[in-house]
Amino acid sequence: MYSAIDDIIPREMDPTVKDLMEKLNIVLDRFVDFGSNILKWDTEVKRVEAYNTPVIMSFRHFLELVDSISVQVKQSSIDPCKLQLRAMLETYFSLSYMLETDTDKRGMAFLVWHLHKQIKDLTRTDEDSEMGKQLRAKLRKDRHTQSLVIPTDPNAQKKIAAIEALLQKPIYQEAEQEYQRLRAAKEKDPAWYRFYEGPKNIVEMAEHLDYMGLYDVIYRRWSGPIHGTDVITGKASIADDGSAEIYQIRFFGNVQEVAQWALNLSLLMYEYYIDKRIPDKKKDYLDWYMTVREHYIRITGKEPLINVT
């Protein structure tokens, strides 16, 4: 049996590092805990309109991302947290756009986009459909997937028919007509935010929301880990003798920056969401913030939490 190479993947953390990671985990968990209360308060309003579903579920998704960062920080798995941070930022952009104005139209646009995505996914499982045939031809051509068997859903056509019937209901019709208009205008797979002359992509959304500072400083920077191109920066250095040093996996060097942005984005999301959805909970938010303020200021300050040598 092969054991881990300690210089590459240390299984035992330095006590000082472990203590810091556990403390950061506690603070991050407190942010997640309060976020769970926001979710509970919003669902207790018992809004019945369908367009509320993507709003609530987007916030839940954001909360789960913060929680995953907390889990990773505790284990000093810091660099992969950038994947979640970028996803948090994109969710903040999307939810900000959805709640900015015309939430009913934008929420229904999301639902219609989601339903069409389901139709495509179901169609791909049907080996007799044109899309299913194309997919299987691609799999046979790729040596990695030649033996892969795509499960065929025997009820795919019934499910597709049910979704198409749903799209014909009055509450979906306005957004469905807009989807079809975009398709007729040669937009093959329009995103939900593209409906009603909306932004064509994330950068246009950021410009529309006046979030370009966040986009340029964070979104662009954290695109590398997503696309597998940021494999050197922060992971290697040149030693005094001129040789290359590869940092260990679970290196804690960027933990303060990761924690800072996880907390900052959480506060931005919480304040915006409360203002738009449950403004009567603003005092609860401010009271809670005072309980974490000291930790927040310490973590987001300029003084390093730990020396990286």
pLDDT digits (tens, 9 = 90+) for 248-293: 888 888 899 999 999 999 999 999 999 999 999 999 999 999 999 9
Alpha-helix residue ranges (DSSP H) falling in the chain: 15-44, 52-74, 81-100, 103-125, 130-141, 156-167, 170-184, 202-209, 212-214, 223-227, 255-277, 282-300
Q: How confident is the model at residue 234 (pLDDT cuts 50, 70, 90)?
A: low
pLDDT of residue 283: 98
Q: How confident is the model at residue 309 (pLDDT cuts 50, 70, 90)?
A: low
pLDDT digits (tens, 9 = 90+) for 80-121: 999 999 999 999 999 999 999 999 999 999 999 999 999 999
pLDDT of residue 81: 93
pLDDT digits (tens, 9 = 90+) for 51-62: 999 999 999 999
Centre a 10 Å sphere on the Cβ of residue 199 and count the other Cβ atoms it contains.
17
Q: How confident is the model at residue 76 (pLDDT cuts 50, 70, 90)?
A: very high
Is 0.75 topped by the overall pTM? yes
As a dihedral over the C-alpha atoms of residue 55, residue 61, residue 62, residue 66, rounded to 10 degrees, the angle is 160
**DSSP character string of 9-20:** S-SS--HHHHHH
pLDDT of residue 223: 66
